[in-house]
Amino acid sequence: MKHLKPRMTHQREIILRALRSVTSHPTADEMYAMVREHLPHISIASVYRNLEWLAEKGFVQKIEVGGRQKRFDGTTTVHYHVRCHACGKVADVAMTPFTDIDRRVQECTGYHITGHHIAFSGLCPQCQHSSTENK
């Protein structure tokens, strides 16, 4: 019996298309709500499993920048993220990634560096506004 290689299924295509249509870095639960419109019988477990597969295969990024839930990003090019410590929102940082940092870290640690992830934290503009209104 042949072992079937996992492939890009119809469910995965819909999940990937939905994720790439937003910049909000949704959680799996948020993705579930988004794709149910196109796949009304999909289970939350299937969404989790497919998002993990898409991340493992490099179609999406899995973001773990604090908070309780992982978030997902349809943009796979190297870029940084910032997370609001008040509301949990995650946004892309519009700056050119550091090009020399991998080499510098490798030189000072002896590790063979294969990549890096930088995530910033702070207070988003909406939460800053809310906190000044409440004073």
CATH assignment of the domain containing 113: 3.30.1490.190
User: Cβ of 55: how many Cβ atoms within 10 Å?
Assistant: 17
Do both 88 and 128 map to the same domain?
yes
Q: Is the pLDDT of residue 75 over 80?
A: yes
Q: Are residues 65 and 19 in the same domain?
A: yes
- Quick one: 93 and 133 in the same domain? yes
Residues 118 and 56 placed together within one structural domain of the fold: no
Residues 64 and 9 in one domain: yes
Q: Are residues 48 and 98 in the same domain?
A: no
Question: Residue 54 in contact with residue 62, Cβ under 8 Å?
Answer: no
**Structural domain boundaries, residue 50:** 1-76
pLDDT in tens, 4-44: 667 889 999 999 999 999 999 999 999 999 999 999 999 99
Token pair in block for residue 13 = 């295509």
Q: Are residues 9 and 50 in the same domain?
A: yes
Cα angle 9, 72, 55 (rounded to 5 degrees) comes to 50
Angle between helical axes of 28-35 and 44-56 (0-180°, round to 10) = 110
Same structural domain, 64 and 90: no
* 17, 6: one domain: yes
* pLDDT exceeds 60 at position 1: no
Task: Give the up-direction half-sphere exposure of residue 10: CA atoms within 13 A in the CB hemisphere.
Answer: 3
What total number of domains does the chain contain? 2
pTM of the model as a whole: 0.80
Which segments of 1-135 are extended strands (E)? 61-63, 71-73, 80-84, 90-93, 119-122
Count of other CB atoms within 10 angstroms of residue 25: 23
Is 71 in a helix, a strand, or coil? strand
Is residue 77 within 8 A of residue 52, CB to CB? The reply is no
> In this structure, what token pair is assigned to residue 82?
């910032």
70-74, 112-116, 123-127, range with the lowest pLDDT: 112-116
Residues 109 and 68 in one domain: no
101 and 54 within one domain:
no
